[in-house]
Amino acid sequence: MTSSTGDWREEARHWLRDLWPTSRLFRVTVVRQRAWGENWIIDTDDGRFWFKSPHPRLRSEAALREVLERHAPRDVQPMHAHHPAGWIVSADAGASLATGEGDPTVGLAEALGRIQRATPLAELTKLPLRVFDPEHAAHNLAQLLDGIAASLPGNHPLRPDKAEREAACAAMWHMTAWWVSVDPGLPLGIEHNDLHPGNTFPGPRIADWGDAVIAHPFASMRVLLHHARDRRATADAYLRGWGDPEELHEPLEVAVRLAAVQRLATWAGILDADLATRYAHHIRPLWLETGREPAVP
């Protein structure tokens, strides 16, 4: 369930109907129901729209997207929001960039950088977004792993044992020290935390900011680089907006490895025993791979 009240779907339908009070056509189709949210298609006289109801832990997306639209309207998918519930409505933008034949990751990397550089940190810190300073990655990982271990039964396949937790945290301390030695000195900013072509549309415009956090901006490239056909070309396109790519490749590589912490934090925020079982193949590598090139986005 994505709302604290059992009748939230009926309430959502009334809210949506009020957005198109004179539309003769008003058809609601539920297309996806997942642990982290629900998506509907709304067909009206004005065209097709998409509705999103997020998991309660992900409701900050609506407020965040308003900030991003204000500062980077060219690169962010427009939307209308119901803030108390975190509901989002946006016009149908066609097929995502994941359906095209070319590699969209170069253009997406450039759009991501524009959004990050245009959005002031001072506005982001006013939102209920979690902050992940790369220098605190080892401490944050330890807290997350302890929390996951405490929340799952002792025989659960995802539950990290003490040896796993200690090994992952030791590797992350090493990564943190590496980061300190290569830190390019850029301020924290918005970190999409799940940027792949399926979350983007022609323009390009970037959508689905529900997992976003405040962290080092380079961390956002973790998932996108996983989908890039030419990793170096995509990385260069992104880094050129920040400085000399040759000087920034090493910080980028360290940042995407440290980003496993905020990826894990998103899962931990919505995790229960059933979800942990179904998605263990996505979650477990996030700590087992610590210190190595990411095997999972």
Q: pLDDT tens for residues 210-268? A: 999 999 999 999 999 999 999 999 999 999 999 999 999 999 999 999 999 999 999 99
Starting at the edge strand found earlier in the chain, the sheet holding 87-91 runs 26-34, 37-44, 47-54, 87-91, 80-82
CA–CA gap between residue 132 and residue 213 (Å, rounded): 7
CA–CA gap between residue 44 and residue 53 (Å, rounded): 19
Q: Is 81 in contact with 87 (CB distance < 8 Å)?
A: yes
Confidence (pLDDT) at 4: 46
CA–CA gap between residue 297 and residue 224 (Å, rounded): 8
Q: Say yes or no to pLDDT of 5 above 70.
A: no
CA–CA gap between residue 66 and residue 74 (Å, rounded): 13
DSSP letter for each residue of 211-239 = T-EEE-GGGGHHHHHHH-SSHHHHHHHHH
**Beta-carbon count within 10 A of 191 CB:** 30
Q: Is 214 in contact with 131 (CB distance < 8 Å)?
A: yes
CA–CA gap between residue 26 and residue 184 (Å, rounded): 52
CA–CA gap between residue 236 and residue 105 (Å, rounded): 11
Torsions phi, psi for 172 (to 5 deg): -70, -35
Q: What tens digit of pLDDT does each residue of 168-219 get? A: 999 999 999 999 999 999 999 999 999 999 999 999 999 999 999 999 999 9
CA–CA gap between residue 225 and residue 197 (Å, rounded): 11
Closest CA to 264 of 231, 227, 215: 215
CA–CA gap between residue 207 and residue 222 (Å, rounded): 17
Angle in degrees, CA 65, 210, 94, rounded to 5: 70
Tell the burial category of 219 from Cβ atoms under 10 Å away from its Cβ (0-12, 13-18, 19+): buried
> Could you give the C-alpha distances from 50 to 44, 64, 213, in angstroms and in order?
11, 18, 23
Q: What tens digit of pLDDT does each residue of 110-164 get? A: 999 999 999 999 999 999 999 999 999 999 999 999 999 999 998 999 999 999 9
The tokens describing 1, both together, are 């369930």
Confidence of residue 41 (pLDDT cuts 50, 70, 90): very high
Residue 129's contacts (CB-CB under 8 Å, 6 or more residues apart) are 60, 64, 212, 213, 214
Domains observed in the chain? 8-91 (3.30.200.20), 97-289 (3.90.1200.10)
Q: What tens digit of pLDDT does each residue of 52-92 get? A: 999 999 999 999 999 999 999 999 999 999 999 999 999 99
Q: State pTM to two decimals.
A: 0.94
